[in-house]
Amino acid sequence: MRPDDRPVRIGIGGPVGSGKTALVAALCRALGAELELAVVTNDIYTDEDAEFLKRAGVLDPARITAVQTGCCPHTAIRDDISANLAAVEDLEARWKALDLVLVESGGDNLTATFSYGLVDHQVFVLDVAGGDKVPRKGGPGVTNADLLVINKTDLAPLVGADLGVMAGDAAVKRGERPVILCSLVDDPGAADVAGWVRAQLAR
């Protein structure tokens, strides 16, 4: 468990294009008024995600730090967390009153998960356009993440994805662990995910 004297750290991981950055932006919008927030992004080969967040105007750019990962996004969040840890600690040192630090991983594959040396809780983000069989395939992210978000549900009819199958398969893999279906088109503030984040802070 985390020491009481520092902010909660939540990792947001998942495959390329599943909507991690958009979810982080949504959480910043939803929680920015009530919480002191900062974000670390792990871009693969640009600082595009950090730039997207800065341009989106959801957070003071000085509260966003980009980490480069040298071709290995999973290494930077799991096996060698030192660069991410340094980025998180720099933000915590600069913003003394932080409640929450979000660490967004670089887009990777279904096996990429965060080390609990870096984050206290982790969210794994899938999207329906990636195929409705993905939850059934499992993997450490789908199975063990503290929260599984199935994102872009508004696209389900367009890509022929069966949300019921996805949610059912996820439940089989995950047992008691929560799953949230989410559409940032229908709900730009990601209210359910923001609620889950609030609950983690209250623990």
Partner 1 sequence: MNLLLLTDGRFPAGGHAHSGGIEAAVMAGRVTGVDTLAVFLAGRLTTAGRVAAALAAAAASGAHDLVELDAEAAARIPSPALRAASRTLGRQLLRTARSVLDAADLPDDLHHPVAMGVVCAATSGLGPADAARWAAYDAISGPASAAVRLLGLDPFRAWGVVAALMPEADAIAAGAAAGAARPLTHLPSCSAPLLDIGAEHHAASEVRLFAS
- State the residues that interact with partner 1 by CB under 8 A: 44-47, 67-72, 75-76, 79-83, 85-86
Helix (H) or strand (E) holding 37: strand 37-43
Residue 43: CB minimum distance to partner 1, A:
10
Residue 54 CB, shortest distance to partner 1, in Å, is 14
Minimum CB separation of residue 17 from partner 1 in Å reads 18
167: tokens are 């949610």
By beta-carbon proximity to partner 1, the closer residue of 115 and 183 is: 115
Quick check: 26 and 193 in contact, CB under 8 A? Answer: yes
Min dist CB 47 to partner 1, Å, is 8
Least distance from C-beta 180 to partner 1, angstroms?
32
Helix axes 20-31, 48-56, angle to 10 degrees: 30
What is the Cβ-side half-sphere exposure of residue 140, based on CA atoms within 13 angstroms?
11
157 CB neighbour count, 10 Å cutoff: 10
Closest to partner 1 by CB, 36 vs 80, is 80
Rg (CA), the chain: 16
Q: Which is nearer to partner 1, 34 or 48 (CB)?
A: 48
Please give the backbone phi and psi of residue 103, each rounded to the nearest 5 degrees, phi first. Answer: -110, 110
Nearer Cβ to partner 1, position 46 or 111? 46
For partner 1, give the closer residue by CB, 16 or 71: 71
